[in-house]
């Protein structure tokens, strides 16, 4: 079990390190203490916070995008795509989190996966929003 927890911690640490590197961020990792402690409850709490932050940013960007569309047909297509993406994200993370070996690590692995995919989707929506703004001369 200890090997499983160590593996899960390594995976989570790599995820955070790579996501920060990919984003060019130099901010300290808010989950660093949780990784160091290796306490499952700390990792679950941290992963839940990361997911909450990612969801807030996604919802904000989605609302901005909808407000700029000005076409009900586009809005419907976006809503349909977003609903399909949410189903895919949830199913994909459910699958991926099983690689943690089960047990209590599944929860934080699932949350970290959701947060990572949500952040990626936010960037996609932001690119769409930027294109709309460019077309409008903003």
- CATH number of the domain at 116, please: 1.20.1270.180
pLDDT in tens, 67-78: 998 889 999 999
In the chain, the number of structural domains is 1
What's the domain range around 78? 2-135
The pLDDT of residue 24: 55
The pLDDT of residue 6: 47
Please state the φ and ψ torsions of residue 104, each to the nearest 5 degrees. -70, -20
Which residue bears the tokens 């932050």?
Answer: 53
Provide the CA 10 distance to its chain's centre, in angstroms. Answer: 18
- pLDDT tens over the chain, length 138 residues: 444 444 444 445 545 544 544 455 566 777 888 888 888 888 899 999 999 999 999 999 999 999 998 889 999 999 999 999 999 999 999 999 988 877 888 999 999 999 999 999 999 999 999 999 998 887
- Contact criterion met (CB below 8 Å) for 34 and 131: no
């Amino acid at each position: 079990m200890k090997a499983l927890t160590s593996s899960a911690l390594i995976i989570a640490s790599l995820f955070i390190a790579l996501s920060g590197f990919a984003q060019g961020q130099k901010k300290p990792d808010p989950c660093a203490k949780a990784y160091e402690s290796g306490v499952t409850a700390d990792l679950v709490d941290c992963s839940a916070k990361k997911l909450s932050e990612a969801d807030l940013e996604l919802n904000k960007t989605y609302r901005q995008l909808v407000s700029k569309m000005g076409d009900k047909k586009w809005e419907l297509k976006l809503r349909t795509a977003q609903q399909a993406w949410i189903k895919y994200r949830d199913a994909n993370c459910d699958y991926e989190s099983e690689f943690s070996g089960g047990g209590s690590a599944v929860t934080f692995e699932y949350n970290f996966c959701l947060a990572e995919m949500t952040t990626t989707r936010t960037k996609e929506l932001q690119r769409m929003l930027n294109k709309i703004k460019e077309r409008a001369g903003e």
